[in-house]
Amino acid sequence: MRKLAALSALILFGLTNLAAAEEVTLRAVSSFAEKTTYSRGFERFIDRVNDAGKGVIHINYIGGPKAMPPFEVGNALKNGVIDVANATGAFYTNLMPEADAWKLRQVPMAELRRNGGLDAFASLYGQKLNAIYLANFVGENPFHLYLNKKIASPDLTGLKLRITPVYRDFFQALGGTVVQTAPGEVYTALERGVVDGYGWPITGIFDLGWQEKTKYRVDPGFYTAEVSVLINKSTWDKLTAEQKAVLQKAGAEGEAEAIPEFNKLNAEDTERQAKAGIEPITFDAAGTKRYLDQAYEAGWAGVIRQSPEQGVKLRGFLSKPQ
Ligand code: 173
């Protein structure tokens, strides 16, 4: 009897140890501040993985820009300093200029997964970032130009604007002077009058208090935001099929729920901006058309200048069917 107990204890110990040895822990960083608009989808993803993956896979969330500057996240992922990143293409164009093309997406993510567009991106992620593209946690979510000086037409001459690569070619094409900063520096830049405005999506300006320093928003919005989960490829290749499945399922769920989520957030934040006294600036019909045409023309020209062959290919996948 005692022998049997000892034996079963041994077996139990062995099994527990085996399970513990099999659980893999991945290190994750977000390029956006913790618990803000563009980190929330990622944080839900981590919770899902940690719930469904008990004993199999665990994500250790190191944090946001306090843990790592957003423009360094791409490098850290590529080099395996981190295993999982929540990042937007604009933050790692130094490694993969084509990632800037995400902003020009006019077809649903589901369509890109069908039409070969995602395969084209995936191959670039593998080559340039040593990464696997998992999922986009932003639905339709336009960018806007926010200003503290009024304009009457789409002419940004004399204005100094905070940008990332998302807005650079467009704002410059309209005559603006641009200065790149991480989101964490926008408030101070506005407060000190270093910039007259900034580019940002329709949602999220309340996260870091920018409504206090913002007078106008130019309508309509342009492009659509993208913030995606990426996994280091060397890490990915070492995972079991079961571990990969946990990540893929949580990724697919997040990508699907981002569509209704952002439709709702877009409407809520538009209303909240009005209540905060942010006044919309609109142009006449010809001005509006010029503004939007210029956005796409300058945007694609920029991508194609950086990567002629891949840029043209991506334009085919990402553009609205004619
Ligand atoms: O403005 C930015 O920092 C930027 O490029 C971005 C991209 C996606 C979501 C939010 C901001």
Kindly indicate the confidence band of residue 14, based on its pLDDT and cuts at 50, 70 and 90: very low
The mean pLDDT of 64-76, rounded to a whole number, is 98
User: Edge-to-edge strands of the sheet including 24-30?
Assistant: 57-63, 24-30, 84-87, 228-232, 131-136
Ligand 1, residues 164, 170, 214, 223: which to mutate, most atoms within 8 A of Cβ? 164
CA of 249 to the centre of ligand 1 (A): 26
Calpha distance 145→243 (Å, rounded): 41
Contact call for residues 144 and 219 (beta carbons, < 8 A):
yes
Ligand 1, residues 42, 166, 186, 223: which to mutate, most atoms within 8 A of Cβ? 166
Q: Dump pLDDT digits (tens) for 211-245.
A: 999 999 999 999 999 999 999 999 999 999 999 99
CA of 240 to the centre of ligand 1 (A): 33
The mean pLDDT of 176-203, rounded to a whole number, is 98
- Indicate the pTM of the whole model: 0.93
**What does the pLDDT read at residue 123?**
98
Calpha distance 302→100 (Å, rounded): 9
CA of 225 to the centre of ligand 1 (A): 7
The answer on pLDDT for 15 being more than 60 is no
Q: Which domains does the chain have, with CATH numbers?
A: 13-139+225-264 (3.40.190.170), 143-224+268-318 (3.40.190.170)
* Pocket of ligand 1, beta carbon within 6 A: 38, 88, 90, 164, 166, 183, 199-201, 225, 227
CA of 97 to the centre of ligand 1 (A): 15
Q: Which neighbouring-strand residues pair with 87?
A: 228
The mean pLDDT of 50-62, rounded to a whole number, is 98
Both tokens of 174, joined, read 């309209």
| Identity of residue 245 | A
The mean pLDDT of 114-142, rounded to a whole number, is 98
The answer on pLDDT for 198 being more than 80 is yes
CA of 212 to the centre of ligand 1 (A): 19
| Identity of residue 131 | A
